[in-house]
A = this chain, B = another copy of it.
Amino acid sequence: MKQHEVHIPFCEKCSLETNAIFRHLTLEETETLNFEKDFRQYKRGDVLYQEGNRISGFYCINSGIIKVYKTGLDGKEQIIRFAKPGDIIAYRSVLSNEPACTSAKVIEDCQVCFIPSEILISLVKTNSAFALELLKLACHELGEANSFITDIAQKTVRERLAEILLLLVNDFGLDEQNYLRISLTREELANIVGTATESVIRLLSEFKSDRLVDLSGRKIKIMNSKGLEKISNVFS
């Protein structure tokens, strides 16, 4: 049946629709990419790579959501970022030529293209517009990391949780009923905010009492984003 056929995305299409990174590639380069890439599918819970691994390529996400995290003390995860369609992951390790400093695990079933390191390096060397685009990406992520450091160091857990909720709204959006389009376990939320699972639970139900959110299982409904903004102290 048609619906069971796997549709392997073409990079030309991919680059136009979702991914700014590849938009400066020539047709020829795009064809090489198409030829060399390896299409893969993963299910929730699958691990793409782990901290410490030497990585032989990077991933371009076509559908689904992946969490990128570091494992700290006692195996507690610290989620660094999420990757969604159009994002690339593991490019850091490839380019800096260091072992992976993070692990990547699937949150929502996904389809990705795996692209060997050599292709990335050779594109950087031959296509300066592409190199510049990658630099922009890395530098932008660096800026976000810096903000996050400041937040974790200076804000309370309450402020951070509110901020993270808004950030998730921004990254993944809301459905028609204002439910967040990404669903995370309480533990995962805690591992972004950098706190204990119990703290997230308590704060979320406080937020619920204050009519800022509504909760039904893992789904979070945003009722008052202005209120969350106020709590999060984003502007001050």
A residues touching B (Cβ–Cβ < 8 Å)? Answer: 70, 72-73, 76, 78, 80, 91-93, 95-98, 101-102, 121, 124-126, 128-129, 131-132, 134-136, 138-143, 145-155, 194, 233, 236
Contacts and interface: CB of A to CB of B under 8 A. Distances in A.
Tallying the copies of this chain within the complex gives 2
Interface secondary structure of A, over-half rule? helix
A95 B152 contact: no
B152 A152 contact: yes
Contacts of A132: 95, 121, 124-125, 131
5 contacts: A70-B147, A78-B150, A96-B143, A121-B132, A124-B131
Contacts of A149: 70, 78, 80, 145, 148-149, 152, 194
A101 B131 contact: no
Contacts of A72: 150-151, 153-155
Contact of A153 (B92, B102, B140, B194): B194
B145 A142 contact: yes
A139 B95 contact: yes
Among the interface residues A138, A143, A153, which one has the most CB atoms of the partner chain B within 10 A?
A: A153
Contacts of A145: 142, 145-146, 149
